[in-house]
Amino acid sequence: MIDDLRLILNAIAQVRRISDSDEIGPENRYHAIFKLHSTVIFPALDRTGLNHKWYDPDTTYEEDVMSYVGSLDKLEKEVTGVLTAMMGGF
C-alpha cells in the first residue's frame, strides 16, 4: 500500500507538470493527464481503497483539466496523511 500511495503522489506531481507546461496544447494536455488518471492514479486508488471525486464540467479541454488538477490538492493531502500515519509520523 505504501508503494501505491507514493505512486499516487508521484503521478499528482506529473499531472501538475503537464498542466503547467506551455509546450503542450490543451487537447494533448487533457489526454496526457487523463491517461495518467486512468492508468496510474485510479488503479492505485482502487488498490488502496481510497476514493477521488471531482466535478467534471465536461465543457472544454482546459476547463476539464483545471477542475481535475484543482481537485488534486485534497487528494494529495489525504494520501500524504495516510502515508504519514502508516510510516509512524515520519
- pTM for this model (two decimals): 0.92
For residues 23 and 83, what is the distance between their CA atoms, to the nearest angstrom?
A: 33
pLDDT at 88: 81
Asked if 29 and 18 touch (Cβ cutoff 8 Å), the reply is yes
pLDDT at 90: 52
Q: Domain residue spans in the chain?
A: 2-86
Q: What pLDDT digit, counting tens, does each position of 29-70 carry?
A: 999 999 999 999 999 999 999 999 999 898 999 999 999 999
